[in-house]
Amino acid sequence: MAEDEAEIYDGIRSQFPLSFGKQSKSQTPLESVHNATRRTTTAAAASTSTSVNSSGHDKPSASTSSDNINAFPSLSSSSKSWLDSLKNPNPSSKNSKPLIGPSRPPVGLDEGGQIMGPPRAPNRNEVEDEDEDDEPTIGPPRPPPGGDGEDDDDGDDAPMIGPPRPPPGAVETDSEEEMDEEDEDPGFRIPLSNEIVLKGHTKVVSALAVDQTGSRVLSGSYDYSVRMYDFQGMNARLQSFRQLEPFEGHQIRGLSWSPTADKFLCVTGSAQAKIYDRDGLTLGEFVKGDMYIRDLKNTKGHISGLTCGEWHPKTKETILTSSEDGSLRIWDVNDFKSQKQVIKPKLSKPGRVPVTTCTWDREGKRIAGGIGDGSIQIWNIKAGWGSRPDVYVANSHTEDITGLKFSSDGLILLSRSFDGSLKVWDLRQMKESLKVFDDLPNNYAQTNIALSPDEQLFLTGTSIERDSTTGGLLCFYDRAKLELVSRVGISPTSSVVQCAWHPRLNQIFATAGDKREGGTHVLYDPTISERGALVCVARAPRKQSVDDFQAEPVIHNPHALPLFRDQPSRKRQREKMLKDPLKSHKPELPMNGPGHGGRVGTTKGSLLTQYLLKQGGLIKETWMDEDPREAILKYADAAAKEPKFIAPAYAQTQPEPLFAKSDSEDEEK
């Protein structure tokens, strides 16, 4: 039996080419893989100059301003050094490039015993030319031949351009100017060199959520769908493994993972929020309140569309939502039928004002809400707390607030609004904002603010304007100095709505889109980022194996019931019909135009009577050119002798016909 199976397997295997099913490892080097996702530089990028410190960090220079906007970031020095190390693993080879930066002491001259790196081997002809010609040297000086500094006196007369070479025995240190620059600006390593786009949505992506491990990404859009991406199981095609539609005809307005990343919250334009598990299966939805009850505290749920929602950062059973009905509600995941707490914001005049956004602080002890009247209200969660806010800032923005964000130390609050501004607030003194950043157009109610992992930077997206030429941007700001650090172009034709900087992956996520398409842009750097986009980009699509081939068995059951019986084959019936000349005859084409081909009713100006006369031979084709009366009288004698059509029916009853004479004869008389 085993031999028969082996023969069958060999027979099937012989039908495929030899290369089919071989699982050979991808030989594509990482350099070419990441070069495919390299962000291109434009001419506008040169307008913003950057300085590189001794550690290889990119730092914006003082000339950076709001006028100098780089559409795409330039190549980072860390990525460039990484690529150079892959191209030239041996720096002492002839094809190696000259060293950039402060020169290193030659091997054997360091009294401290530290080897700073192998020097470039000098050419003997170059050394002789240096002694003879007093030309200025550009760049770091070359080390002397032989490893000693006896010839240093010969080159003292030549002016040196660039950092001086340290004397023998001195440890390489940074210059005083660079040390001062490091004290003033620590230098930020922002992962911007490479980019991938998670596509799939047909409209702007308005919601984003990345779990704590960085393996799964959720994106919600105005096309009413939620897409789930898994970096561990995704290949270079960057396709989502699941698509959900929580509520038909309702836009996605918020997504949030639970602290344990086993569930996530989906907030849509409907009044009910939904809970899903990690694989996208529905666990339940919260109840909708009674819209005819005036007091919102007496309803069991929201009565209008939701605007925002966020999971508690520490407790996996608690959820916060805000709605257009003018209330915030705290829910228990274990009870979908009623909320735990109803929060009614303070209003300057009676009525229902929508709550546009809400958020927790890092410890989950405070709640902040953005009210439709432009006020920011903060509640401290403590024993006996109610709807009265502990902090009330009236007229914080002139239009609706779209995003709020607490810092982890609980000292700073960031707010984003439709009025095109981003404000920084000190929670210890909320009367006035610390800083206001303007010229940030915002056209979406889900535009948020994100913080870097070390919280030295905060970033937000901008919307594209009708007459704008820069497109959607990501703006980075320094938290300590409260100034603009960099502006990065994401899409020339789409607006940037949501953004996030994941601490474990060290990758930046930015959602963008317009009325035609939308996607999630993932920015990373191969040298400082981990997993995430690096894993899926380097993973090639799975090749097809011979084991994947499976012939579907054909089961014939002629005695099955009519309900389960297979449809009989009509192949023989079609063959018989092709052989039958009548059934296989091509039908006549429909009549088109004034008529042609001599068919009934197709000749020009033909009537039934004319057709019958024509078929009987009484009317020829030239009858229209003759006089009708003369043409008929021409056949009067023949019709009287041999009547064929009408005359026989009236032969006995009708008298002999008399034809009138011509009018011309009457006129002559």
pLDDT score of 73: 41
Say if CB 32 and CB 557 are below 8 A apart: no
Q: Is the pLDDT of residue 47 over 80?
A: no
Task: Tally the residues of the chain.
Answer: 669
pLDDT at residue 335 is higher than 70: yes
Does residue 57 have a pLDDT over 70? no
Q: Which residue has the tokens 């569930």?
A: 263
Listed residue (296, 238, 141) closest to 520, CA to CA: 238
Within-domain flag for 25: no
pLDDT reading at 127 higher than 50: no
**Whole-number pLDDT of residue 34:** 81
- The model carries a pTM of 0.61
DSSP 149: -
Whole-number average pLDDT of the chain: 75
Q: Which of 186-190, 272-276, 554-558 has the lowest mean pLDDT?
A: 186-190
Residue 200 burial (CB < 10 Å; 0-12/13-18/19+)? Answer: buried
SS3 122: coil
More confident call, 249 vs 40: 249
Q: How many CA atoms lie within 13 A of 554 on its CB side?
A: 2
3-class DSSP string for 34-101: HHHCECCCCHHHHHCCEEECCCCCEEECCCCCCCCCECCCCCCHHHHHHHHHHHCCCCCCCCCCCCCC
Rounded distance, CA 129 to CA 138, Å? 15
**In this prediction, what percent of the chain has a pLDDT beyond 70?**
64
The pLDDT tens digits for 500-519 are 999 999 999 999 998 888 99
Return the higher-pLDDT residue of 208 and 59.
208
Mean local confidence (pLDDT), 59-63: 38
Instruction: Report whether pLDDT(177) > 90.
Output: no
Task: Answer whether residue 59 shows pLDDT above 80.
Answer: no
Give yes or no for residue 193 having a pLDDT over 60: yes
Q: What is the pLDDT of residue 276?
A: 95
What pLDDT does 600 receive? 52
Torsion of CA 60, 64, 69, 75, to 10 degrees: -20
- 357 with 388: CB under 8 angstroms? no
> What sign for the dihedral angle of Cα 312, 200, 306, 476?
positive
- The arithmetic mean of pLDDT across residues 320-349, rounded, is 91
Using the predicted structure, report yes or no on whether residue 174 has a pLDDT greater than 70: no
Three-state DSSP string of 62-81: CCCCCCCCECCCCCCHHHHH
DSSP state of 636: H
Residue 161 lies in a domain: no
| pLDDT range class, residue 189, cuts 50, 70, 90 | confident
Kind plus residue range of the DSSP H or E element containing 425: strand 422-426
Rounded Cα–Cα distance for residues 386 and 374 (Å): 21
Report the pLDDT averaged over residues 288-293.
89
Strands 507-513 and 160-161: unpaired
- Specify if 357 maps to a domain: yes
DSSP string of 472-537, one letter each residue: EEEEEEETTTTEEEEEEEEESSSEEEEEEEETTTTEEEEEEE-SS-EEEEEEE-TTT--STHHHHH
Q: Measured between alpha carbons, how far is residue 158 from residues 107, 146, 148, 244 in Å?
A: 24, 21, 19, 72
Predicted local distance difference test score (pLDDT) of residue 81: 54
Q: Does the pLDDT value for residue 334 go beyond 70?
A: yes
Element (H, E) at 263: strand 263-268
**pLDDT of the residue at 35:** 82
Angstrom distances, CA of residue 133 to CA of 120, 137, 337: 21, 11, 90
Given a cut of 60, whether residue 71 has pLDDT beyond it is no
Query: Which pLDDT score, from 0 to 100, does residue 413 have?
Result: 95
Instruction: Say if CB 545 and CB 534 are below 8 A apart.
Output: no
- How would residue 216 be classed by pLDDT, with cut points 50, 70 and 90? very high
Give the three-class secondary structure for 124. helix
Q: What does each C-alpha distance from 415 to 104, 421, 434, 457, 489 come to in angstroms?
A: 48, 8, 12, 15, 22
- Residues with Cβ within 8 Å of residue 457, at least 6 apart in sequence: 188, 190, 451, 476, 477, 478, 479, 485
Average pLDDT over residues 265-293: 93
How many independent structural domains does the chain possess? 1
- Please give the DSSP secondary-structure letter assigned to residue 583: T
Minimum mean pLDDT range among 165-179, 327-341, 641-655: 165-179
* % of the chain residues with pLDDT over 90: 40
Whichever domain contains 230, its CATH number is: 2.130.10.10
In contact, 311 and 259? CB cutoff 8 Å:
yes
* pLDDT class of 658 with cuts at 50, 70, 90: low
CA dihedral 27, 32, 33, 35 (to 10 degrees): 180
pLDDT for residue 667: 55
Write out pLDDT tens, residues 354-405. 999 999 999 999 999 999 999 999 999 988 888 889 999 998 999 999 999 9
Q: Are 76 and 525 in contact (CB under 8 A)?
A: yes
Dihedrals phi, psi of 99, to nearest 5 degrees: -70, 140
CA nearest to 267, candidates 204, 344, 320: 320
Residue 666's pLDDT band, with cuts at 50, 70 and 90, is low
Within-domain flag for 16: no
Residue 237 pLDDT: 85
Q: In the structure encoding, which two tokens stand for residue 662, read together?
A: 């011509």
Report if residue 241 sits inside a domain: yes
Question: Mean pLDDT across the stretch 625-630?
Answer: 74
pLDDT, residue 175, reads 42
Q: Look at the block and give the residue holding tokens 């006996």.
A: 384
More confident residue, 222 or 155: 222
Q: Which among 513, 476, 475 is positioned nearest to 491, based on CA atoms?
A: 513
Closest CA to 445 of 415, 465, 417: 417
pLDDT for position 3: 58
Task: Judge whether 85 lies within some domain.
Answer: no
The per-residue pLDDT for 620 is 57
DSSP H helices, 118-158, are 124-132
Question: 42 in a domain, yes or no?
Answer: no
Domain of residue 400, residue span: 194-538
The whole-number average pLDDT for the span 154-169 is: 48
pLDDT grade for 21, boundaries at 50, 70 and 90: low
Decide if pLDDT at 84 tops 60.
no
Residue type, 353: V
Q: Is residue 374 part of a domain?
A: yes
The two three-digit tokens of residue 477, written as one number: 């700001």
Give per-residue pLDDT as tens, 557-594: 878 888 887 777 788 888 888 888 888 888 777 665 54
Q: Characterize the bridge pairing of strands 391-393 and 274-277.
A: unpaired
Tens of pLDDT, residue by residue over 230-274, are: 998 888 888 899 999 999 999 999 999 999 999 999 999 999 999
